[in-house]
Amino acid sequence: MIILAIVSLILPGFYLGIPIMAGLAHRPAPGKLRYSDAQQSGTQAGAILARLSETMDTTDLGLLRSRLKGVVHLAGIGEDPVKEYVWVMSEFLGNMTQIETKLNQTHAFLASGDRRQAKEDLDQLERLRDEAKPLLSSLPGLLSEVEDYYKVDASAQRQKVLELQSVFSEYSVEIGKLESELQVQQGLIYTMLTLSSSMQLVFVEESLSVHGALEMQNGTALAGRNITLSWDWNMTLMRTTDFSGKFEADLSFPVGAEAGSNAIQAKFEPQGSDGSVYLGCRATLEVQVAYWPSVIKAEVKPATSRPLDPVEVSGILLGPGGIPLNGKVIEVNFDNSSLGNAVTDATGHFLLGFQVPTSASNGTHSLTVAFVPALDRYSGSNLTLTLTVELPGTRTEMLLDRTRVFSGTVLTLNGTVRLANGTAWRYGRVHVYLDDSLLTNAVVMEDGAFLLAVQVPPNASFGFHTVRVQYSPDEAWVGGSEVVAQVYVYNTLVLVIAVAGVAAASSSGAYAIVRSRRAAKLPPPELFGPPPIMRPPTREEYSTESLTAAIQAEHDDAAKVRRSYRLAQSLLEQGTGEVPRGSETHWEYFSRIASKSPQLADRLRRLVELYELAEYSQFPIGADHSREAMEIVLRLRERV
């Protein structure tokens, strides 16, 4: 009863009260993510470059710079080419913004004749220009890295970089003019240099003829002066002007030169005594540099295959005019992962065989065949082919030993894993979930079968639950599968509590009914009038016959002994006035009677002994004992 009471009150407190209260005490948070749980995500280079190109107004570098401020706070600048590109761009724009400001200041100082301050500013401008130049020159390379790393098209951004190069060139020219202006203010003769070329578009390693002239501000030619021609960052050439101040040179852009707009600069720097007479000057010529084009043609056989199947990629690489290109390296990529390289033969043909990667998923994949030149006069070319991969699918079948279970008991699952064509498949594991909670997992046996005994969680609630068996193959190139079944769960704990509660309630109800019936048998108390006079039993009521009959009426000997003892107590109460007390034991009762009536002690002791045996021991009470007890009662009657 004690355990029942504790179980029926405390356990519901645990299993119902606390969870309910916990629900009331806790409001689940809405969709905010926890920062420490968040995983790094990849950079979406294409969208970033596109947005950058949209918003890059190269006519307002200050605004552009302000839009990119704070880029230094981005994590992983050194590891992510996109972030590095944006950071370098931001740094370059910072320098350009300062150059813009300083140019205006220097103009103002020159206009006011403050040559000392103008000289200081010009020095700063040259420093800023020298810092900005390598930043600008690194942008195209970074864009190439971005394109290679993320396989995105950065042509729009390249165009913006060209615009920035143009702005930078303008600022460089402006700085040069300011230098000249400062020198003119210092009393030197102004000179002019012109520069032109035979063509505007030149291929690498193709000869380009440039020519120009040097003259004074009044148009007088300057003969015998050295002109330095520089191009492609580090290529230089020196020519001397003829009698008419003219000069010419043949030059070419080497392999490795940046494709696109390139500047050729001619510079006259007065030397010796000319330094105190003439003012230096520069001229810049923009030409478009291009690499010789190449074309790649290729095919893949077979176009549809399964993992580990052999596949061949073959094709031809052609140069301008359809000439085959010999000894060129062709890279083949499968979904951006390199499969290997092939080299073209004398006829320009190439062939690469490979096995379809086991990591390939089901569906269409891209196969990129690319000629990526390294220090080559030919430009790269590529071609994207498609290869369809078909993964063998699997089918999982399962049988449950029963569909209704008690929580905490064991449920047996028996099943098999087969390929789509019905062949048993063994490589992998099966995971068993009950309502998305993982219960167990096991390795699939050789014949594709699995046998699992899972324990239904003891706290599984009443109702239908989903048993899901998920097959995860060891080989990534085999498709997984799963099978789902429903089981009805009876929560054992709740059932036990309910049964215990019902039992407790039934017991309490039965007890209450018995008590109420007993109470109904008692005569109703009289509410008014004098208290009833308790009439002592008459001697006739304790006659030998009535006592014998009362004792013999009991159903067994032990009951007869107990009845004898109680009749003896009643007799003694009437005879001696000693009322039995509820708080005393039978021996305490004996002691009290024996002290008052010693003559009854011997008989009463034996009766008490018999009573003790009948009431409190397992001792078998026989007819002799009951008869002895009855005789003692009859003797006591006589004495009393």
Partner 1 sequence: MRLRTRIITLASAVALILILSTAYYWPVQDEYHPLNEEWNGCSKVVNASRNSTLLFSYGEALAEHTLFAIVGPGLGFSQKEAAYVRIFLESGGTVLLADDIGKGNSLLESLAVPARFSGQLIDDLLYYSKRPDFPLITDFSASPLTDNVTAVLMNRPSFLQVENSSVVAVIASSSLFSFVVENGGGQPGANEMLQSYPVMASVRIGKGLLVLVSDPSVFTNEMIDFYDNMRLFRNILRIGGGSIAFDVGHIARASLTDLRTQFRTEIDSIRSSLLFSTWGVYTQSLIVAAIVLALFLHVRRNANIRTPGKKGQAFYAHSSSAAPG
Rg (CA), the chain: 55
H/E element, 131:
helix 115-150
- The three-point CA angle 313-314-320 to 5° equals 130
H/E element, 261:
strand 260-268
Q: How far apart are the first and last CA of the chain?
A: 45
Tokens describing residue 73: 């706070």
Q: What is the rounded distance in angstroms from the CA atom of residue 469 to the CA atom of residue 394?
A: 13
Smallest CA-to-CA distance from 53 within 136, 143, 137 is with 143
Which is closer to partner 1, CB of 238 or CB of 553?
553
Which is closer to partner 1, CB of 67 or CB of 418?
67
Shortest distance, position 22 Cβ to partner 1, whole Å: 6
Shortest distance, position 623 Cβ to partner 1, whole Å: 20
Shortest distance, position 639 Cβ to partner 1, whole Å: 18
User: Long-range contacts of range 139-145, CB-CB < 8 Å, 24 or more positions apart?
Assistant: 139/85, 139/88, 139/89, 139/92, 139/164, 140/258, 140/260, 142/81, 142/84, 142/85, 142/88, 143/85, 145/81, 145/85
Shortest distance, position 240 Cβ to partner 1, whole Å: 53
Which is closer to partner 1, CB of 355 or CB of 585?
585
Which is closer to partner 1, CB of 7 or CB of 184?
7
Which is closer to partner 1, CB of 417 or CB of 547?
547
Strands (E), 335-436: 337-343, 349-355, 363-371, 381-389, 394-400, 404-406, 410-419, 428-434
Length in residues, the chain: 640
Shortest distance, position 543 Cβ to partner 1, whole Å: 9
Q: C-alpha distances in angstroms, 523 versus 286, 514, 519, 520?
A: 130, 16, 9, 8
Shortest distance, position 525 Cβ to partner 1, whole Å: 14
Shortest distance, position 39 Cβ to partner 1, whole Å: 7
- The three-point CA angle 59-63-68 to 5° equals 120
Which is closer to partner 1, CB of 40 or CB of 59?
40
Cross-strand bridge partners of residue 365? 387
Answer yes or no: are the C-beta atoms of 56 and 158 closer than 8 Å.
no
Shortest distance, position 512 Cβ to partner 1, whole Å: 12
Which is closer to partner 1, CB of 27 or CB of 116?
27
Which is closer to partner 1, CB of 70 or CB of 272?
70
Is residue 202 classed exposed, middle or buried when 0-12, 13-18 and 19+ CB atoms within 10 A define those classes?
Answer: buried
Shortest distance, position 526 Cβ to partner 1, whole Å: 16
Which is closer to partner 1, CB of 20 or CB of 323?
20
Shortest distance, position 259 Cβ to partner 1, whole Å: 27
Q: What is the rounded distance in angstroms from the CA atom of residue 330 to the CA atom of residue 322?
A: 17
Answer yes or no: are the C-beta atoms of 303 and 226 closer than 8 Å.
no
- The three-point CA angle 371-372-377 to 5° equals 95
Which is closer to partner 1, CB of 51 or CB of 301?
51
